[in-house]
Amino acid sequence: MSTEYIRIEKSQPLSGIAQLAGAKNAVLVIMASLLLTEGKNKLTNVPFSEDIRHMIRLLEMLGAVVEVDKDMGTLVIDTTLISSFRVPVEIMKRMRASILVMGSLLARFGKAEVALPGGCSIGERPIDYHLKAFSKMGATFSTSNEYIHCNADKLRPITHILDYPSVGATENIIMGTALLKGTTRIINASVEPEVLDLIEVLNKMGAHIRVLAPATIEIEGVSSLEPIDHQIMYDRLEAGSLLLAAAITGGELSLPDAPARSMTVFLSLLEEMGHSITLGDNNTGVHIQATQEPRAVSFKTMPYPGFPTDLQAPMMAALCLASGKSVIHETVFENRLVHVRELQKMGAQISIEGQTATIVGVDELYGAAVIASDIRAGAALVLAGLAAHGHTTMTGVHHLKRGYDAIVPKLASLGGRISTQFEE
Ligand code: UD1
């Protein structure tokens, strides 16, 4: 079997205009939410990264009929014939987001059979918040042969107080209660933009869901939900990764679709590094003119509106070449500094203590053979490769492809010397 790898050479400053893809984390959960309807739903602006393909297979296994138009970025998903509430273990192991169908299945069938999900190896990532929330509402759980059997015949609406604003747990509770008579509240809920896109979709279906500042979500159950058409929001994480590709190569890039209003903390750090950032009208669209002398900055990853953990690794790559000392504290996942070892192979000066990485900027990075261990680590290594002398080869490409749709040709079209290769 041949091994896929990405070959990257030191590139000229990336420049031009790039079109963004739809947000992977919004599409995945919105696809799961369609199980609450019976009929034909249409999603546009859909990226076809690997995780989306898995979710298509998952829905098909449950009985959905899915029509894919890759050129148009469209999915038509007919949920009329959903007949199964069991998600096969093989699918669950491939992608953590498979757990997101649990809430919808419980709402539709009063039961669900799922397994412990897989996905990126960036920490423990248990699903205890999800299970605890449903058991507080009256669901029961038993396990056999890797499956968790959930029974939720008699759910009752309650007020949930989350210990941590988990994105997935918030989404599952919302989907699990949209059809539950009475008022469910989630206090200390996740209010990531992708959660808000899910809420917009559910309200279009006919749900009654409100977000109360700062982080409470109130769900007034309705008796049925109708199929919808929806355009998926643009991907702020792809936007951030592309802006960093321009930043690390000293380039200039426009992203007319970038959802700038949900990128405030990230964009202000780019400015603190010395890059010039201009926003489009109505906070949509971002233009970066990169500085040739970036400065170090320090930050902590946090739930939204804080700095997103999914941009921590790409930002670290850029900071490897910034003058001075940057300190990054990863607070969301406990094993999300694996890319440090790979960046060190390229000449980066980084030390780790617990969940904190200290980066002392160097003048040059050097191409090396590196391995991507998760989606965002892959993005970080690609960025470092664009700025490193010589050439870099990155394996573990499947991780990158889980979260980014056609990122290699996109970077190449902006001037990146990057290509996908296969070795026998
Ligand atoms: C989602 C995103 C992922 C992003 C993350 C944080 C999707 C498909 N994925 O993942 O890209 O990095 O949000 O912004 O939307 N936790 C528990 N118990 C639980 C659930 C979570 O301890 O039951 C912990 C996790 O291990 C982690 C933290 O809570 O340390 C945050 O996880 P969570 O917000 O749930 O992330 P995901 O929904 O898995």
pLDDT tens-place string over residues 353-378: 999 999 999 999 999 999 999 999 99
Instruction: Report phi then psi at 34, rounded to 5.
Output: -65, -20
For 11-39, the pLDDT digits (tens) are 999 999 999 999 999 999 999 999 999 99
Residue 364: CB atoms within 10 A of its CB come to 12
Percentage of the chain modeled with pLDDT above 70? 98
What's the pLDDT at 120? 54
Q: Enter the DSSP assignment of 182.
A: S
Whether 9 shows a pLDDT value over 60: the answer reads yes
Q: Which residue puts its alpha carbon closest to atom 7 of ligand 1?
A: 25
Determine the distance separating the centroid of ligand 1 and the alpha carbon of 2, expressed in angstroms.
33
> Do the Cβ atoms of 346 and 366 come closer than 8 Å?
yes
Distance CA 186, CA 334 (A): 25
Model pLDDT for residues 64-84, shown as the tens digit of each residue: 999 999 999 999 999 999 999
Active site residue 320: no
Please list, in sequence order, all residues whose beta carbon lies within 8 angstroms of the beta carbon of residue 71, skipping any fewer than 6 positions away.
none
Q: Are 155 and 180 in contact (CB under 8 A)?
A: yes
Per residue in 232-275, pLDDT (tens digit) is: 999 999 999 999 999 999 999 999 999 999 999 999 999 999 99
pLDDT above 80: residue 125: no
The band of 108, judged by pLDDT with boundaries at 50, 70 and 90, is very high
Nearest atom of ligand 1 to the alpha carbon of 100: 8
- Single out the catalytic residue among 106, 114, 120, 337: 120
Residue 255: φ, ψ to 5° = -125, 90
| Protein residue with least CA distance to atom 38, ligand 1 | 168
CA distance 67 to 1: 31
Is 60 exceeded by the pLDDT of residue 123? Answer: no
Closest ligand 1 atom to Cα of 125: 26
Q: Is the pLDDT of residue 163 over 70?
A: yes
What DSSP string describes 307-358? B-GGGHHHHHHHHTTSBSEEEEE--S-TT--THHHHHHHTT-EEEEETTEEE
Model confidence, pTM: 0.96
Helix-then-strand count for the chain, H and E: 14, 23
**Which residues have any ligand 1 atom within 6 Å of their CB?**
25, 28, 96-97, 123-130, 164, 166-169, 194, 309-310, 332-333
What Å distances lie between residue 146 and 57, 89, 101, 117, 361, CA to CA? 20, 7, 17, 10, 46
More confident of the two residues 189 and 153 = 189
What integer pLDDT is reported at residue 112 of this predicted model? Answer: 96
Tell me how far the alpha carbon of residue 380 lies from the centroid of ligand 1, in angstroms: 20
